[in-house]
Structure formats: C-alpha cells, structure tokens
Structure 1
Amino acid sequence: MRLLVLGGTHHVGRAFVEAALARGEEVTTVTRGVSGTPVEGAEARHADRLDPRALRTALGDDEWDAVFDTWSAEPVAVQTSARLLSGRAPHYTYVSSCSVYTWPIAVGSDEGAPVVEGDPSSTDGSDYAAAKRGGELAALAEFDGDVAIARAGLILGPYEMVGRMPFWLKRIAAGGRVPAPGPYDRPLQYVDCRDIADWVLGSRPVGTFNMVSEPGHTTIGALLDEVRAVTASDAELVWLDPETVEAAGVQPWTELPIWVPPTGELAGLHALDTSAAAAAGLRCRPMPETVADTWAWLEREGLPERPTNRGGGPMDAAAEARLWAAHDAATTTTTTATTTTT
C-alpha cells in the first residue's frame, strides 16, 4: 500500500511510520521538517499545514491508499488536508482524543457520550479538547471516503512527548523513597502508540472509536513495580492513599502522571467503554513490553520537547515534598489515634 502520514516524526505518527515500513508499505510523510525524528525509509516531504498553498505543493498530484493524520492544534489544518485529499485516497484516519468528551467524563462512557463544541474552520489550537473535536468534524465533513475517528485515551509507549511514563521511569531510576499514588490495585486503561498503528494498518477501521485498552489492562502497582524492575532501581515505593494525595494538593494525571483516584470526577479517565475498538480488532500488548521499550528509547534518545497545549507537567521537588509532608501528617494522626485507643 501507499500510505500518507500527516506528521510521522513524533510519538504516534513515528510509531505508525515504523510499523508501516516494517510491513513493507510505501510511506510518504508531510511535516514542517523542523522537529521530531524522521524515519529512514519513508519519503519525507515538508510543508506548514497551516499554509494551504505549501501543503498543496507538497502533495502534488499523488494518490495514496490511506491517510493517517495526528494533528492536535488548529482544526483548519485538518479541514485543508481533508479537502485536498478527497478523491485521492479511499481512507482517512484522524487520531483524536477522548478529551473531546464533556467534563467530567462519566465512568463507562462509549462513543455516544456528549462532546465539546468544535469548529472545523478554527485557527485557534489553544483549547486541546475543542481543537481535537474541530479536527474530527473537519475530517468527517470534508473527506469523501471512509473515515476513522480514533479517540485515543492515555497514550504510552516509546516516543511519548508528554512525558508521563518517562517521569516515572526517571524518578524511580533515581532511587530513594518514591511517593506512589494508590491504592496499589487501582486499575489503569491506556494504549501503546504501536498498538494504535497496528490496529489501523491491520483493520482499516471505519467509524468513531474509543481507542484504548479495556479498563484494568494493568494496575498502578504492577506498572510501578515493573518500572522499578526495568530500571534496576533500589527505590522504595511508598504507597499513599488518595486522601493523602488530595491533602498535599498534588494534581492527579498531570503532576502524578497516569494515575487518577478511583472515585471522583477523574475516575472516568480509566473507565471508558472500549468494546467497539476491541470488536474492530484493537489488541493491546502486555504492559511489561511497553515499560521496557519506553525505557530503552528514553535511554537512547532522551525526552523530546513537550507540546505547548497540554497543561502542566509532572511533579517537581516541591510537589514531592508536599506529598511527604501529607504522608507524615497522616501517619502521625494514625499513630496518635491508635495510641489513644490503646
């Protein structure tokens, strides 16, 4: 197959290009050419997708068997590419996000859950959820072939730009006492970027899908234990209950990447209905493989620059200090209560 990847040098796009080339496909990428890691074997073309003339020139008169688009900023870029590629490819996959669902995301939400407003012609990419929804609408309205809207949940694996798994790998590798948000058996839901690629290449899905593993693909305890094993760390994981994390004022998901409490408005982030994607062929690799391969990549290449429209980063030393203070206070309170009772 001849495949066109709009992007292709960062995270999901890079994983898709590598997977396609490994299958013997012919791949063309279109990027600005100023960041990321080009994949050897792909034909690299360059254009700013916000410049319709430049994109038209880069595409030329070529046709492809499928298009894969990972754009996460101004929706107008998806609108332009979908228009230009109509009639020149039979299939268009747009990698969206479960962030398009209105907040808070209800536990068990499927693809019919309410979504935010989006404008396919918008030139504003500052609101990540609205931008992704605008991209969805643009692909659906402008492309005249089959369209897959892949609403990714938490994406992990090599090449991760947001730095969620890399945070835990680096922090646990550094050793010492590490605050671990519990409970230990808190179920997690995520997708490895390479599983997205394998799914699209193997299944050529059509429709809208929550593209993430089943809830409970692993747990926070199993994940952090595997991180400790892979990094050969002597770190001590000290498990903190959600109440202690809340008392410290340290934010789940952002400052404590991957993890959210099992109850409350964030709980739906690890409890989406993914039956449609599973029925369409999505298969998720074992968690230890994702951890090991992410560590190998991080050691080899280091962490790339973080996207500008993704909010705050993982916890710093001050946030960790607040966790320890809250932990010590909770331990003291428990000890005092036990002594008084005795």
Structure 2
Amino acid sequence: MRILMMGGTRFIGVYLTKILAAQGHEVVLFNRGNKPAPVSGVKQIQGDRTNVEQLKEKLSTVEFDAVFDNNGRELSDTKPLAEIFKGRVQHFVYMSSAGVYLKSDQMPHIEGDATDPKSRHLGKCETETYLATSGLPWTSIRPTYIYGPQNYNDLEAWFFDRIARDRPIPIPGNGMHFTQLGHCQDLAKAMAAVLGNERTRGQIYNVSGDR
C-alpha cells in the first residue's frame, strides 16, 4: 500500500513508519519538516495541517491507499483531512485516546463504555463521532499511557528520576488503583495490524500492555 502518515518523526509515528516500511509499504509523511524521516528513503511532504487551504493544495492531487492520522487532537484537525480523502482511500486509521472514558469504578474500560463530555480529550470523541458518519472506512485506536524511547512526555522519566535521586514516589489514593501502560512499539504493531483488515473498519480498539 501507499500510505500517508500525519507526523511520523516524533514518537509513535517513528516506530509505525519503521514497521510499515519493513512490511514493504510505501510510506509518505506529512509534517512541518523539522526532523528527518526515521527510515531512509521515506518521503516527506512539508506543510502545516492546521492550514486547511495548504492541506488541500498539498494533498488533493496525491493518491494514497491508506491514511494514519496520528496527531489530530480536535475535530477541526481531522475533518479537513478526512474530507480530502473521502472516497479515495481504503482505510483511515485515527489515533484517539483511552482518556476519553467517563470515570468509573467498573474496570477495565471496554470500548462501549460511556465517554466523559468534560474530558480534555473531548475532541477525540467528536472526531470518532464524525468518522462514524463520514462514509470513510475508518478505525480508531484508543491507547493508554504510552512509554518507551523518544517519549516527549516525561512519563517514565519522572519515575526514574525519583528513583535515581533516592526520592519517594507518591502514589495517588490508597495505592490500590491500577493504571495500565502501553509500550510504543506494541502500539505501533497494533496500529499496523489493523491496516487493510476489513473486520476493523468502523471499529474502536483500546490498546494497552498487560495488566
């Protein structure tokens, strides 16, 4: 397949690009061009996705079989991209978040659980709702906390820093709350696995590591 990936040079996209390229797919990245492609020979289209006119100019005449939208946070980020490729791609894979769920004592969350209208990830929910009625063959991935090399959030770094400096690690609540983490490479493998699989179209998937 010829695949367009939004981003692709910062964190998850780096690993996903490597996997897809190794599988023989042609991967093209769309980003601001601040970093080199993670795989030699992978092309980059330089642009700003928040500039809708520029997005149309850069992508309306380019053909792809699939799109990975890894960095759309709000509906306004993804809708213009989806409209460009409606009727033109076999698969549109969206990166959502497990942070969309309404807090509940019934754990673990499953994909059909209620979402939180006050979540800071509300834009992700709105995007999934839009994709469900867009006519695109879409799949949404909801990862938990992601860790691993090149993480730009100080998730694991914060803990290791406390340990290295022999400082206590605060634990919220009574210490009995479970939090699931997911490794960046496992997430990338899961995202690659849904590509082209007809059973995944129109579906939302939680992705996490073992409990």
Q: TM-score range by the shorter chain?
A: 0.7 to 0.9
Q: Is the 8 A contact 1:94 1:139 kept in 2?
A: no
Give 3-state SS (helix, strand or coil) of 1:102's partner: coil
Q: Which has the larger radius of gyration?
A: 1
Aligned equivalents of 1:49 and 1:105: distance in 2? 38
Aligned equivalents of 1:188 and 1:103: distance in 2? 13
What residue in structure 1 maps to residue 140 of structure 2? 149
Q: Is the 8 A contact 1:100 1:129 kept in 2?
A: yes
Could you tell me which amino acid in structure 2 is paired with residue 100 of structure 1? V
What residue in structure 2 maps to residue 42 of structure 1? 42
Could you tell me which amino acid in structure 1 is paired with residue 168 of structure 2? P
What residue in structure 2 maps to residue 82 of structure 1? 82
Is 1:211 aligned with 2:211?
no
Q: Is the 8 A contact 2:8 2:17 kept in 1?
A: yes
Flag structure 1 segments of 5+ consecutive residues without an equivalent. 119-126, 217-342
Give 3-state SS (helix, strand or coil) of 2:92's partner: strand
Is 1:178 aligned with 2:177?
no
Deviation at 1:185, TM superposition (A): 9.4
Deviation at 1:72, TM superposition (A): 4.2
Give 3-state SS (helix, strand or coil) of 1:150's partner: strand
Deviation at 1:3, TM superposition (A): 1.0
TM, length-normalised to structure 1: 0.54
**Residues 105 and 113 (structure 1), Cα distance of their counterparts in 2 relative to 1, 3 Å cut:** farther
Aligned equivalents of 2:60 and 2:204: distance in 1? 29
Give 3-state SS (helix, strand or coil) of 1:158's partner: coil
Flag structure 2 segments of 5+ consecutive residues without an equivalent. none
What residue in structure 2 maps to residue 58 of structure 1? 58
Of all paired residues, the percent bearing the same amino acid is 26
1:153-182 deviation per Cα after TM superposition (whole angstroms, max 9, x unaligned): 11111221211012223443x44x231456
Deviation at 1:110, TM superposition (A): 0.8
Which segment is superposed worse, 77-86 or 97-106? 97-106
Which segment is superposed worse, 107-116 or 79-88? 107-116
Aligned equivalents of 1:160 and 1:106: distance in 2? 30
Aligned equivalents of 1:184 and 1:73: distance in 2? 31
Give 3-state SS (helix, strand or coil) of 1:3's partner: strand
Aligned equivalents of 1:185 and 1:37: distance in 2? 43
Deviation at 1:22, TM superposition (A): 2.4
Q: Is the 8 A contact 2:96 2:124 kept in 1?
A: yes
**Residues 108 and 84 (structure 1), Cα distance of their counterparts in 2 relative to 1, 3 Å cut:** same
Q: Is the 8 A contact 1:78 1:139 kept in 2?
A: no
Which structure has more RCO (C-alpha within 8 Å, separation ≥ 6)?
Answer: 2
What residue in structure 1 maps to residue 188 of structure 2? 197
Q: Is the 8 A contact 1:9 1:39 kept in 2?
A: yes
Deviation at 1:37, TM superposition (A): 5.3
Which segment is superposed worse, 200-209 or 80-89? 200-209
What residue in structure 2 maps to residue 24 of structure 1? 24
Which has the larger helix fraction?
1
Aligned equivalents of 2:6 and 2:145: distance in 1? 21
**Residues 103 and 8 (structure 1), Cα distance of their counterparts in 2 relative to 1, 3 Å cut:** same
What residue in structure 2 maps to residue 115 of structure 1? 115
Give 3-state SS (helix, strand or coil) of 2:45's partner: strand
Aligned equivalents of 1:105 and 1:209: distance in 2? 20
Deviation at 1:73, TM superposition (A): 2.9
Could you tell me which amino acid in structure 2 is paired with residue 102 of structure 1? L
2:157 to 143, 147, 166: 166
Could you tell me which amino acid in structure 2 is paired with residue 178 of structure 1? R
Could you tell me which amino acid in structure 2 is paired with residue 154 of structure 1? Y
Q: Is the 8 A contact 1:3 1:27 kept in 2?
A: yes
Q: Is the 8 A contact 2:60 2:84 kept in 1?
A: no
What residue in structure 1 maps to residue 91 of structure 2? 91
Is 1:140 aligned with 2:127?
no
Deviation at 1:104, TM superposition (A): 4.5
Give 3-state SS (helix, strand or coil) of 2:58's partner: helix
Aligned equivalents of 1:50 and 1:10: distance in 2? 18
TM, length-normalised to structure 2: 0.83
1:174-204 deviation per Cα after TM superposition (whole angstroms, max 9, x unaligned): 44x2314569997552211221221222343
Q: Is the 8 A contact 1:97 1:153 kept in 2?
A: yes
